[in-house]
Structure 1
Amino acid sequence: MQNFKTMKYLKYITIVILTFSLQSCSDFLEQEPGTQTSIDELLQNKEGVLIALKGLYRDVEANVRGERFAVYSDLQGGNIKFTPTASGNSTGQITAGVNIRELYSFEDTAETSNFASFYSANYSIINQANLILEYTPKLNDATDVEKNQIKAEALTIRAYAHFLLSQVYCQDYGYTADASHLGIVYSTESIKSGLKYPKRETLATTYSLIVKDLKSAIENYSETAAMAGPTYSYFNKNNTKALLARVYLYKKDWVNAYETATDVITNSGFKLMSSADYVAQWAQPDLPVSEALLEFSIPRDAENTVGGSMSSYFGYNGVTYAKYVATNDLINLYENNDIRKQLFLPVNLQTLVNGLLTPVTYNFTRKFQDNAGYVAIRLSELYLIRAEAALENNQANLALQDINTIRARSNATLLTSTSNLKEEVLLERRKELCFEGHLFFDLVRNHKGITRNDGCISTNCSMTYPSLKFVLPIPQSNINLNENLQQNESY
């Protein structure tokens, strides 16, 4: 039995390494088809390592922009709902997308998990990052500064992938008093380095390793990106600090969350978008908003044709439309004068109501039209991280200032009292960061239940905290490969 499992696992290793090679150096493989040799040859010089790093960013972008993760948190939390089918025998009917159908109802299964590809893709990304980290110190044609920069970006990607996995597959940090509940497998060596059957760490250890990787990355960054291209699409010292601030927030390390967010706000050189061009910046094609600390570049072919963007899920072009729109639960949170309300485009779509096709109004977001990329981190989030951390540090007046900075930019009524400020912070996060992947995770880390009213077609529209279904199952195929990989409870 052990030999059979070992053979299956070695087959998995081969697939992962081959996938990495094909994505990163297909031309080279045509000359040297041996998989192991290809990786060794590819990563022997700076050019090859940078090709691999570019391929790694491409995989990261595809994984977070993929429908499953791109809509997961807002859909589960209640910010978005489905549009009716546009044509055919099912015109006007509203159904959940096939890629998220089970998890939407909190009924995902280990055997056929909607997120199986997300789990595997993250560990493939981690393995690629580890390969780059293992080969980069040996480069003879790169300076120490260049090698440190490559190391920093790979470390950040490794930490980011582990953090994403912890969000989806682990209960929140405060689920147990000391975060001793299950975290994830934290991989710091490539599969190529040897066959292992690792166990899941505790969540406390998982977060300590994420923080360690990010702090190490920050120490190694230079002022120059490893590769040419739009700097907003690569990890750098500023957006890595921003990611670290987010991790501290989830870890409930309020002092470090406050200090790190302040560092980014004060020293990054980024400024909040102004009220005057807030809507226009979101509506511009191709480019990110000016306060985006990180937005991964969308894929384009040699003819500059876009291979995929966020508009695949949220787009409306006057004729065709995508699957997801804002719920009235979200729309109704905005004051009439709030400029963020202008980010919603109301459109009447034919919908089956009591058996009759009837025009019903749906609100598409203007955030992700045209060739919109995945917004990973924005400066507005840092103000809201700092506000929440300040409040938890018993500095309510400082929290009030940061919340009002965001509200003033939006032309919303300023808060004058520090009472109920915790709810105000979470409400402001929901309004400001909608469709950017925060709501469900915000609710769970604050030990709040899920209430989905408008447009909910799930068998479970409301869920109370705590729930074993607030995390997804480890795909059964991965459990079968590793006898030490413990499944989440209830799956």
Structure 2
Amino acid sequence: MKYSKYLFIFFLIFSLQSCSDFLEQEPGTQTSIDELLQNKKGVLQALAGLYNELEANLRGERYAVYADLQGGNIKFAPVSSGNSRGQISPTLNVQNVYSFEDQALTSDFKSFYDGSYDIINQANLILEYTPALTDATEAEKNQIKAETLTIRAYAHFLLSLVYSQDYKYTADASHLGIVCNSQSIKAGIQYPARKTAAETYTFIVNDLVTAIGNYSSSSSLPGQSYSLFNLNNTKALLARVYLQKGDWNNAYTTANDVITNSGVTLSGSADYVAQWAQPDIPISEILLEFANRRDSEDVVTSSMSQVFGYTTATSYQRYVASNDLVNLYENSDLRKQLFLTQPLQTLVNGVLTSVNYNFTRKYQNNAGYVAFRLSEMYLIRAEAALETNRADAAMADINIIRGRSNATLLTNTTNLKENILLERRKELCFEGHLFFDLVRNHKNISRNDGCISTNCSMTYPSLKFVLPIPTYNTNLNPNLQQNESY
């Protein structure tokens, strides 16, 4: 009961306050933090809470839809009831972001920004206390360190995607990255400046490489291995980081390592669609899917279906697939069956009319947040192979993914780069990749079907391809430079 009380206080502060607010709270909670983290039990409780915070930040409506919405895979379904029934409008939480018109003072993503740095601060506290544990073995401490470093790296990486221009925005990646925190606020008040993009990625890669060297064969916490960070899915994250950076040799080697040595295999054609539709259990090729939150009776209280779900014609969520996406699939492609087509009442010229919309089957029935799966590793290996003059190997990997889906196989390497990006869009839709893929390849944004934004098309480069840092944070930290144009 004593640890439960302190754990509640500890994470209540983090969940309700930004990192900057917590600075003011720290002196009054010093004893409780020390007591909580003085032994293995308390540290593991804190680590479990850290996973919960990370899952909530990813699954939340803002980040969960961001890359697909901005890139054009997603449009909005009509309002289901009330005076606005049938009307189509952006949802409130992403209204400004959707139009590339977010404002620093009232940013749609303030909760994501604050939540990410809260996660980083919590991770730093765990990392600071773990080495002194006297009731944990060295292997146990190393495992805690590995998982925590990976979470810290992941949070920094997500922030860099949203708040920093792509790695090759400047030739030497000397443009602004993000603030990288390696010390908790317990160490004292600090006002760090943003690192360059190059320095940011070096920080992230170093954390992940260090984590990989510390993993053991056993997780720190109970639960399914695919719901926690481990050696294989940490390598998957590292492969994604290398891809985003354009470090092609390391991207190839790391993705190949996961494909070859993880023990995970691609889901088969026969049950690929059925696996996505099964309740509670992820697709078999999963590398990391965070566990859903459950109540005391083991009932799921939050899941991805709260973002993408369909229950009835009057009970559904607002995010559906655009025809820009759906029309990319051949009729024979099994992945076309992953769209749940449903008629919804829509105002057309002032009259409620039945119009078909395509919900994704990936996130129905208590689905969790899909962070990494093996298909992505094949696609990373393919792109990295092409960029290192191995076009035939790249085509072979693309055909593995296309063949599994019963799509037409490629027969030559003409326009292979575009085919790889197309395959990523089709295979990884609703999994948070498209906008980042377009930007890192210096592509323009073109949203057609269902686009109700004031900016349906955006030309690369654009200052609006990153979001503003919330004004509260720039006011608090005089060294925190705002993104240009905000």
TM-score by length of 2: 0.95
CA deviation digits over 1:227-284, x for unaligned, max 9? 1111111100000000000000011000000000000000000000000010000000
Shift of 1:318: 2.8
Counterpart-to-counterpart distance in 1, 2:90 and 2:16: 34
Among the aligned pairs, what percent are the same residue?
73
Q: Report the 3-state secondary structure (helix = DSSP H, G, I; strand = E; otherwise coil) of the residue aligned with 2:213.
A: helix
Counterpart-to-counterpart distance in 2, 1:34 and 1:76: 42
1:371 is aligned, of 353, 366, 373, to: 366
The runs of 5 or more residues in structure 2 that have no matched partner are 1-8, 18-26
Contact 2:78 2:85 in 1 (8 A): yes
Does residue 308 of structure 1 match 2:302? Answer: yes
Counterpart-to-counterpart distance in 1, 2:247 and 2:42: 39
CA deviation digits over 1:332-376, x for unaligned, max 9? 000000000000111111100111111111011100001010000
Counterpart-to-counterpart distance in 1, 2:176 and 2:286: 33
1:443 is aligned, of 438, 446, 450, to: 438
Q: Report the 3-state secondary structure (helix = DSSP H, G, I; strand = E; otherwise coil) of the residue aligned with 2:312.
A: coil
Counterpart residue type for residue 72 of structure 2: G
Counterpart residue type for residue 324 of structure 1: Y
Counterpart-to-counterpart distance in 1, 2:349 and 2:412: 46
Q: Which residue of 2 aligns with 1:92?
A: 86
2:150 is aligned, of 156, 179, 182, to: 156
Q: 1:17 to 1:131 in 2, by over 3 A?
A: same
1:182 is aligned, of 173, 176, 180, to: 176
Q: 1:353 to 1:258 in 2, by over 3 A?
A: same
Q: Which residue of 2 aligns with 1:290?
A: 284
Counterpart residue type for residue 106 of structure 1: F
CA deviation digits over 1:403-432, x for unaligned, max 9? 000000000000001010000000000000
Counterpart-to-counterpart distance in 2, 1:425 and 1:98: 34
Contact 1:56 1:129 in 2 (8 A): yes
Contact 1:21 1:38 in 2 (8 A): no
Shift of 1:17: 7.4
- What aligned pairs does 1:207-246 form with structure 2 within 5 A after superposition? 207-246=201-240
Shift of 1:88: 1.1
Q: Report the 3-state secondary structure (helix = DSSP H, G, I; strand = E; otherwise coil) of the residue aligned with 1:220.
A: coil
Does residue 485 of structure 1 match 2:480? Answer: yes
Q: 1:291 to 1:87 in 2, by over 3 A?
A: same
Contact 2:305 2:363 in 1 (8 A): yes
Segment drifting more, 481-490 vs 83-92:
83-92
Contact 2:120 2:181 in 1 (8 A): yes
Q: Report the 3-state secondary structure (helix = DSSP H, G, I; strand = E; otherwise coil) of the residue aligned with 1:103.
A: helix
Counterpart residue type for residue 434 of structure 2: L
Counterpart-to-counterpart distance in 2, 1:313 and 1:240: 26
Shift of 1:20: 3.9
Shift of 1:87: 1.2
2:318 is aligned, of 319, 323, 333, to: 323
Which consecutive aligned stretches of 4+ in structure 1 deviate over 2 angstroms post-superposition? 15-18, 20-23
Counterpart residue type for residue 253 of structure 2: E
Contact 2:10 2:33 in 1 (8 A): no
1:397 is aligned, of 392, 398, 415, to: 392
Does residue 344 of structure 1 match 2:339? Answer: yes
Counterpart-to-counterpart distance in 2, 1:452 and 1:208: 34
2:49 is aligned, of 55, 75, 81, to: 55
Q: Which residue of 1 aligns with 2:194?
A: 200
Counterpart-to-counterpart distance in 2, 1:22 and 1:100: 21
Contact 1:16 1:124 in 2 (8 A): no
Counterpart-to-counterpart distance in 2, 1:361 and 1:228: 43
Shift of 1:307: 1.9
Q: Which residue of 1 aligns with 2:375?
A: 380
Counterpart-to-counterpart distance in 2, 1:65 and 1:88: 27
Q: Which residue of 2 aligns with 1:36?
A: 30
Does residue 468 of structure 1 match 2:459? Answer: no
Shift of 1:305: 2.3
Aligned residues: 468
Counterpart residue type for residue 162 of structure 2: V
Q: Report the 3-state secondary structure (helix = DSSP H, G, I; strand = E; otherwise coil) of the residue aligned with 1:329.
A: helix
Segment drifting more, 172-181 vs 314-323:
314-323
Contact 1:17 1:35 in 2 (8 A): no
Q: Report the 3-state secondary structure (helix = DSSP H, G, I; strand = E; otherwise coil) of the residue aligned with 1:302.
A: coil
Counterpart residue type for residue 386 of structure 2: L
Counterpart residue type for residue 442 of structure 1: D
The runs of 5 or more residues in structure 1 that have no matched partner are 1-14, 24-32
Counterpart-to-counterpart distance in 1, 2:222 and 2:343: 44
Q: Report the 3-state secondary structure (helix = DSSP H, G, I; strand = E; otherwise coil) of the residue aligned with 1:142.
A: coil
Shift of 1:482: 0.3
Counterpart residue type for residue 186 of structure 2: K
Q: Report the 3-state secondary structure (helix = DSSP H, G, I; strand = E; otherwise coil) of the residue aligned with 2:192.
A: coil
Counterpart-to-counterpart distance in 1, 2:212 and 2:355: 50
Does residue 76 of structure 1 match 2:44? Answer: no
Q: Which residue of 1 aligns with 2:131?
A: 137
Does residue 359 of structure 1 match 2:354? Answer: yes
Does residue 257 of structure 1 match 2:251? Answer: yes
Shift of 1:21: 9.2
Counterpart residue type for residue 66 of structure 1: G
Q: Which residue of 2 aligns with 1:30?
A: none
Contact 2:10 2:32 in 1 (8 A): no
Segment drifting more, 315-324 vs 473-482:
315-324
Shift of 1:34: 5.1
Counterpart-to-counterpart distance in 1, 2:208 and 2:134: 26
Contact 1:163 1:210 in 2 (8 A): yes
Contact 1:168 1:472 in 2 (8 A): yes
TM-score by length of 1: 0.94
Q: Report the 3-state secondary structure (helix = DSSP H, G, I; strand = E; otherwise coil) of the residue aligned with 1:111.
A: coil
